[in-house]
């Protein structure tokens, strides 16, 4: 029915609830409703640690219009923005409510020294955090694997960052629009964790977005130009990210299949006219376009290079400017994509309008432990046949974009600002399987667990198999050798400070096991590292071992080993 | 299926923390409230005429009807103690040298209550319904913080 958003800003003067209110009010005003008309509120916001407010959903609730109403906050990490539209959809579809306000808010500027801190514990506290990981590792490792599998040219991937920042130059709410950016600019930007460079990454942001959803009956009362949610889907990959197929996002395809089936989409490339895939990194937009079955695996980069994804191309992708251009206030960014489809399908996107009266679009987001796909298909057709109205030629202007950006100096000097750290400390249990695994490392042995259901050997071990959902069967010892599945050369620490010596994190498939695990490489020139390289564990001296993942100092190339 | 831990030394725990701190800025309405408190030593609220409700501290919007509000109503400095509690232990459960009394006060002209400390009542028992007033620090000592208010002090009447 309606959509609204604040500007996406590096630092907003508004509190989180003030941002939520500005977006919510804009959405209601865009369809001439007041809060009285709202039956229920669905809210999303990513980690509480960003705003530094525990129970953030409840804190934000008044800004989202939830006072005295049924209210729920859902949270699936980066996938939250699109997921909350799905939540809004089933709140209406279940018959619980006729009119639902859907709100997404994120205020990342509160987090010190860097919002990445809030993400550190998504790494396994016992097996991965001792390695000193940086969130960028996951993306760099995935990007390298994607590039290696298809022999991709980084220039083609950089074309996505260029397209999105140029598109964002036409977005009144955008943080990083740049009409003059080139592929050379992206390739010349600072290398953070090779192959990820500064301009491959979307910016930390504050902002909020809101939508108004309604049942078919209520829609008839509210507008003669509804946009319909035609299909929804979401799906999870394995929680063990190093065990995933980092080349292809299966979870996105599974989510898209569900959404397309509901929408009656059988030939996505023909029946989808606009895509808003999730683009926190440029390669991720391509990865996701392939998962959405809009391009064959490995072919989306050519499409980016050839202009197919441009606003006037055959399949406009991220005409909003995406996260790379508009900004990435995590949960709000996903809902911004759904809002963009709403404006595009109504012909209200102004300078961003995709030509040719698009009639159907798909929005997608990605998150959780980097393994959820959330997909929504929107279209002009749907609902009762009598309400399918042709769009008028002269659209109403898009909702205004409130929001007050603060400079760094204003942020540091703000009257009444309070700085505080939650003084919480933890003791993480290694658990049954990992305790024994760590005991093995102290003895210089790598232990796994065998699942006879799926015939996998799991390293690091676990006591249950998440695929067969049965207990694993036996302990096995594997060789301390393996193969590099993907790697990164990382130049920054978790709080984005430069490192004197770059680190080389790698996902290593241990010989005789299924799937990979995370460690670092040593005794190797970073330029010599290759996917497929055979490596072996270098153990700490026996006296220095403590029963830690660091008892393996690092992995090094097997001398005279495979290329 | 579940293995018993036969050797307790195999049970491993990793101590750690999440190295995150926060900088909270007061927002649009919060800034107006704190700057006025600092500059004039008065408490600002926001009135929603439609809902006939006055919020304290000031707010940017009405949570009942979503109207935009201004920080436009001076409330107090006197009001009514609506509830109080006396804290004898700190956040870690440690005993406090002197107990802290917290009060929820509905300042004159406001509908919402304001939370702060209650001062100077040791010689007489507090009662809900008691008249109190806001004690503000001297002008030169105010910085634009909620601590520019020292607390509430019981008054006659
Ligand atoms: Zn009101």
Interval between CA B50 and ligand 1 midpoint (Å): 5
At residue B3, the pLDDT reads: 53
> In this predicted structure, what is the pLDDT of residue A563?
45
Per-residue pLDDT at A134: 86
pLDDT value at B89 more than 60: yes
Say if residues A116 and A496 touch (Cβ distance below 8 Å).
Answer: yes
Which residues of chain B are within 8 Å of residue A420 when distances are taken between CB atoms? Answer: 21-22, 24
CB contact under 8 A, A422 and B30: no
CB contact under 8 A, A125 and B145: no
Q: Hey, is the C-beta of A121 within 8 angstroms of any chain B C-beta? A: yes
* B92 interfacial to chain A (CB closer than 8 Å): no
* Chain B contact set for A49 (CB, 8 A): 18, 20
> Strand A71-74 relative to strand A40-44: parallel, antiparallel, unpaired?
parallel
Nearest to A49 among B17, B20, B63 (CB): B20
Residue numbers of A between 123 and 142 with CB closer than 8 Å to B? 125-126, 129-130
Could you tell me whether strands A481-487 and A505-510 are parallel, antiparallel, or unpaired per DSSP bridges?
antiparallel
Our CA-based measurement puts residue B103 at a distance from the nearest CA of chain A, in whole angstroms, of 22
For residue A14, what is the nearest residue in chain B, using CA coordinates? B27
> Is B35's CB within 8 Å of A426's CB?
no
The DSSP secondary structure of A34-83, one letter per residue, reads -GGG--EEEEE-S-HHHHT-TTHHHHHTTTTT-TTS-EEEE-BTBTHHHH
Q: Are A76 and A70 in contact (CB under 8 A)?
A: no
Q: Distance between CA atoms of B84 and B20, rounded to whole angstroms?
A: 33
d(CA A275, CA A279): 11
A224 CA to centre of ligand 1 in angstroms: 29
In the three-class reduction of DSSP (H, G, I as helix; E, B as strand; rest coil), residue A207 is classed as strand
The pLDDT value recorded for residue A382 is 80
Question: Shortest Cα distance from B65 to chain A (angstroms)?
Answer: 6
The strand pairing partners of A111, in sequence order, are B22
A-chain CB neighbours of B2 within 8 Å are 432, 463
Residue by residue, pLDDT tens for chain A (563 residues) are 999 999 999 999 999 999 999 999 999 999 999 999 999 999 999 888 888 888 999 999 999 999 999 999 999 999 999 999 999 999 999 999 999 999 999 999 998 888 888 888 888 888 888 888 888 999 999 999 999 999 999 999 999 999 999 999 999 999 999 999 999 999 999 999 999 999 999 989 999 999 999 999 999 999 989 999 999 999 999 888 888 889 999 999 999 999 999 999 999 999 999 999 999 999 999 999 999 999 999 999 999 999 999 999 999 999 999 999 999 999 999 999 999 999 999 999 999 999 999 999 999 999 988 889 999 999 998 865 444 444 444 445 455 578 899 999 999 998 889 988 877 888 888 888 999 999 999 999 999 999 999 999 999 999 999 899 999 999 999 999 999 999 999 999 888 889 999 999 999 999 999 988 999 999 999 999 999 999 999 999 999 999 999 999 999 999 864 44
CA of A37 to the centre of ligand 1 (A): 14
- Describe the crossing of helices B27-40 and A16-30 by its angle, rounded to 10 degrees: 130
User: Tokens 């006037």 map to which residue?
Assistant: A312
Give pLDDT tens digits for B134-145: 999 999 999 999
Q: Do residues A173 and A337 make contact, with C-beta atoms less than 8 angstroms apart?
A: no
Determine phi and psi for A392, rounding to 5 degrees: -70, 160
Q: For residues A517 and A478, is the Cβ–Cβ distance under 8 A?
A: no
Could you tell me the distance, in angstroms and rounded to a whole number, from the CA of residue A87 to the centre of ligand 1?
27
Give Cα separations from A220 to A99, A385, A530, B64 (angstroms): 12, 11, 59, 26
Mean pLDDT of B76-88: 94
Give me the CATH code for the A2-109+153-381 domain, please: 3.40.47.10
Q: A418 vs B19: CB contact, 8 Å cut-off?
A: no
What pLDDT sits at residue B1?
A: 43
Q: Which two tokens stand for residue A391?
A: 């769009």
Interface test with A, best of B5, B9, B15, B24 (most A CBs within 10 A): B24
Q: Is B39 on the interface with A (CB under 8 A)?
A: no
Beta strands per DSSP E along A237-302 = 274-276
Query: Do residue A15 and residue B25 have CB atoms under 8 angstroms apart?
Result: yes
> What is the band of B12 on the pLDDT scale with cuts at 50, 70, 90?
confident
B69 shares contact with chain A (CB less than 8 Å): no
pLDDT of residue A383: 64
B63: chain A residues, CB-CB within 8 Å = 62-63, 65, 67
> How many whole angstroms from A83 Cα to the centroid of ligand 1?
30
Residue A196: half-sphere exposure toward Cβ, Cα within 13 Å:
27
Residue window 441-500, chain A: list those with CB within 8 Å of chain B: 463-464, 471, 495
Specify whether the CB–CB gap between A46 and A75 falls below 8 A. Answer: yes
pLDDT of res. B4: 57
The CATH number given to B24-154 is: 2.40.50.140
Centre of ligand 1 to C-alpha A399, Å, is: 22
Contacting residues of B for A15, CB less than 8 Å apart: 25-28, 30
Chain A nearest C-alpha distance from B15 (Å) = 4
Q: Is the CB of residue A426 less than 8 Å away from at least one CB of chain B? A: yes
The shortest CB-CB distance from A438 to any of B12, B25, B34 is to B12
pLDDT for the residue numbered A560: 66
CB count, 10 Å around CB of B103?
Answer: 25
pTM of structure? 0.91
Residues of A in contact with B70 (CB under 8 A): none
Would you say A352 and A25 are in contact if contact means Cβ atoms under 8 Å apart? no
Q: How far is CA A421 from the centre of its chain?
A: 26
Which candidate in B2, B66, B143, B146 is best for mutational testing of the A interface (most A CBs within 10 A)? B66
Is residue A411 classed as helix, strand or coil in its secondary structure?
helix
CA-based torsion, A288, A290, A291, A293: positive or negative: positive
Write out the DSSP string of B26-87. -HHHHHHHHHHHHHH--EEEEEETTTTEEESS--SB-TTT--B--S-EEE-SEEEEEEEEEE
Pick B31's closest partner by Cβ from A129, A416, A421.
A416
Closest alpha carbon to A531 in A479, A490, A483: A483
Secondary-structure percent of chain A, ordered helix, strand, coil, rounded to 5: 35, 25, 40
Return the residue in A65, A416, A451, A463 with the most chain B beta carbons within 10 A, the one to mutate for interface testing. Answer: A416
Residues A326 and A84: their CA atoms lie apart, in Å, by 20
Q: Please check whether residue A396 is in contact with residue A342, taking contact to mean a CB–CB distance below 8 angstroms.
A: no
Largest CA distance in chain B: 72
Q: Which of A499, A170, A197, A214 is nearest to A311 (CA)?
A: A170
**Three-class SS of A350-364:** HHHCCCCCCCEEEEE
Outline which parts of chain A fall under CATH 3.40.47.10: 2-109+153-381
- Within 8 A of A24 by CB-CB distance, chain B residues are 66
CA angle, A522 as apex, A150 and A140 as ends, to 5°? 35
pLDDT interval class at B6 (50, 70, 90): low
Q: Which residue of A has its CA nearest to B33?
A: A416
């Amino acid at each position: 029915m309606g959509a609204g958003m604040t500007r996406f800003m590096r630092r907003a003067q508004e509190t989180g609830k003030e941002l939520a209110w500005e977006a919510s009010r804009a959405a209601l005003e865009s369809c001439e409703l007041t809060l009285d008309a709202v039956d229920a509120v669905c809210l999303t916001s990513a980690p509480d640690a960003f705003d530094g407010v525990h129970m953030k959903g409840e804190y934000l609730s008044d800004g989202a219009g939830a006072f005295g109403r049924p209210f729920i906050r859902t949270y699936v990490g980066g996938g939250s923005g699109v997921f909350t539209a799905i939540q809004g959809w089933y709140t209406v579809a279940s018959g619980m409510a006729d009119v639902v306000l859907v709100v997404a808010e994120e205020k990342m500027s509160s987090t010190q020294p860097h919002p990445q801190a809030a993400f550190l514990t998504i790494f396994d506290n016992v097996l991965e955090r001792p390695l000193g990981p940086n969130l960028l590792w996951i993306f760099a490792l995935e990007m390298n694997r994607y590039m290696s599998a298809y022999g991709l040219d980084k220039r083609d991937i950089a074309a996505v960052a260029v397209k999105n920042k140029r598109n964002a130059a036409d977005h009144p709410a955008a943080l990083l629009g740049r009409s003059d950016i080139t592929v050379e600019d992206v390739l010349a930007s600072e290398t953070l964790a090779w192959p990820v460079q500064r301009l491959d990454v979307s910016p930390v942001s504050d902002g909020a977005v809101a939508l108004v959803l309604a049942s078919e009956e209520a829609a008839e009362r509210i507008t003669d130009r509804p946009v319909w949610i035609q299909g929804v889907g979401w799906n999870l990959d394995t929680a063990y990210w190093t065990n995933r197929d980092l080349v292809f996002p299966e979870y996105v395809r599974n989510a898209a299949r569900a959404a397309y089936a509901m929408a009656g989409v059988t030939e996505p490339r023909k029946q989808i006219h606009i895509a808003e895939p999730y683009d926190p990194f440029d390669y991720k937009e391509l990865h996701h376009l392939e998962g959405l079955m809009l391009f064959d695996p490995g072919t989306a980069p050519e499409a980016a290079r050839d202009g197919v994804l441009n606003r006037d191309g055959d399949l406009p992708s991220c005409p909003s400017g995406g996260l790379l251009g508009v900004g990435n206030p995590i949960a709000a960014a996903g809902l911004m994509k759904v809002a963009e489809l709403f404006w595009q399908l109504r012909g209200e996107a102004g300078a961003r309008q995709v030509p040719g009266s698009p009639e159907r679009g798909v929005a997608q987001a990605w998150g959780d432990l980097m393994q959820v796909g959330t997909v929504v298909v929107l279209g002009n057709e749907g609902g009762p046949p009598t309400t399918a109205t042709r769009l008028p030629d002269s659209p109403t202007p898009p909702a205004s974009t409130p929001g007050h950006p603060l400079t760094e100096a204003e942020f540091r000097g703000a009257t009444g600002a309070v700085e505080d750290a939650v003084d919480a400390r933890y003791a993480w249990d290694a658990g049954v399987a990992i305790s024994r695994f760590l005991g093995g490392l102290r003895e210089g042995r790598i232990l796994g667990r065998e699942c006879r259901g799926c015939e996998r050997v799991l390293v690091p071990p676990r006591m249950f198999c998440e695929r067969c959902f049965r207990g694993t069967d036996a302990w096995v010892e594997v060789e301390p050798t393996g193969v590099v599945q993907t790697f990164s050369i990382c130049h920054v620490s978790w709080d984005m400070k430069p490192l004197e010596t770059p680190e080389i994190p790698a996902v290593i498939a241990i010989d005789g096991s299924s799937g990979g695990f995370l460690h670092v490489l040593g005794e190797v020139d970073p330029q010599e590292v290759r996917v497929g390289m055979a490596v072996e564990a270098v153990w700490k001296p026996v006296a220095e071992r403590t029963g830690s993942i660091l008892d393996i100092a690092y992995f090094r190339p097997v001398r005279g080993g495979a290329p | 299926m579940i293995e018993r831990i036969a050797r307790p030394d195999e049970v491993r725990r990793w101590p750690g923390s999440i190295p995150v701190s926060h900088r909270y800025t007061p927002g649009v309405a919060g800034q107006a409230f704190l700057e006025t408190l600092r500059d004039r030593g008065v408490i600002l609220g926001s009135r929603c005429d439609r809902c006939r409700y006055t919020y304290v501290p000031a707010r940017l919007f009405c949570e009942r009807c979503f109207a935009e509000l201004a920080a436009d109503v001076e409330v107090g400095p006197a009001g009514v103690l609506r509830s109080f509690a006396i804290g004898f232990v700190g956040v870690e459960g440690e005993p406090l040298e002197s107990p802290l009394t917290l009060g929820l006060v509905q300042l004159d002209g406001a509908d919402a209550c304001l939370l702060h400390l209650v001062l100077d009542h040791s010689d007489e028992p507090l009662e809900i319904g008691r008249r109190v007033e806001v004690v503000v620090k001297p002008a030169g000592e105010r910085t634009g913080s909620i601590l520019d208010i020292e607390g509430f002090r019981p008054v006659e009447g």
